[in-house]
Amino acid sequence: MEMDMKIAVIGATGTAGRKVVEQLDAQGHDTVEVSRSKGVDVTTGKGLDEALAGVEVVIDASSPWPSEDADIGEFLAGVTRTILQAAESAGVKHIVYLSITNIDKPEVAKFDYYRAKATQEKVLAQGTVPFSIVRSAQWMEFALNPAAVEERDDEIIASDWNIQPIAVEEVAKVLAEVATSTPTHRTVAGPEPIRLPELTRLLMTARGDNREVTASEPPLASLGDGSLLAPAEAELLGPSPQQWVEAQS
């Protein structure tokens, strides 16, 4: 099959990145996988210029994390500047950035990571490369994310977030669509709200895991009060939590 476009996926080995690579490969694109395991470090820029040589579109699905003593906002802004500079030097025509829904809400921006993601969007807008932002709700895979769920031998403690999760495969499809189109912003979420402990409980039951799932207070009220649910402009895509869980078992 003839290759259509040369597209780099930053974070190609991550949860979303792997699915994006699968989508692009299936469509016959020339996909460049950018990750530390491929010898590229977006936090320092090592190998990035070489990786983006001849690339038309960059999809940034990365989720780098700073050292404990670093400010996450400054760190992620620096990563985006590094990617942007390399893209500009390489003559990239389009950057697609994977972000998170509702991070422009003041109550959601109290969460450091979400505020940092919003800063990355602003840095991208300061560059010269045309860009698209795909804002995604939390993924179904968040059901066991260590950032909000603690697994113990006899129980699982899930922070009581109120979310409208989307299957990461649906997010990957949208990223691939946007990457092969003219720059545009899109917001996506799943079809149904659910509280995180319930999502975790559904998944554990489907797996035959009998550990009790206990809800804990979220670190910020906005994570549990509905502030994370799909905004009015969101496209509601993919399976419901129950359908997704059944497909995992």
Q: Which pLDDT tens digit goes with each residue over 9-30?
A: 999 999 999 999 999 999 999 9
Q: What pLDDT score was predicted for residue 70?
A: 87
Q: Rounded to whole angstroms, how far apart are CA atoms 134 and 234? A: 10
Confidence of residue 3 (pLDDT cuts 50, 70, 90): low
**Residue 154, amino acid:** D
The predicted model scores a pTM of 0.95
CATH of domain 6-248: 3.40.50.720
Residue 148: how many other CB atoms lie within 10 Å? 22
For the chain, the average pLDDT equals 96
Q: What pLDDT score was predicted for residue 4?
A: 86
List the beta strands (DSSP E) in the chain: 6-10, 30-34, 57-60, 94-100, 131-136, 149-151, 155-159, 162-163, 186-189, 194-195, 212-216, 235-236
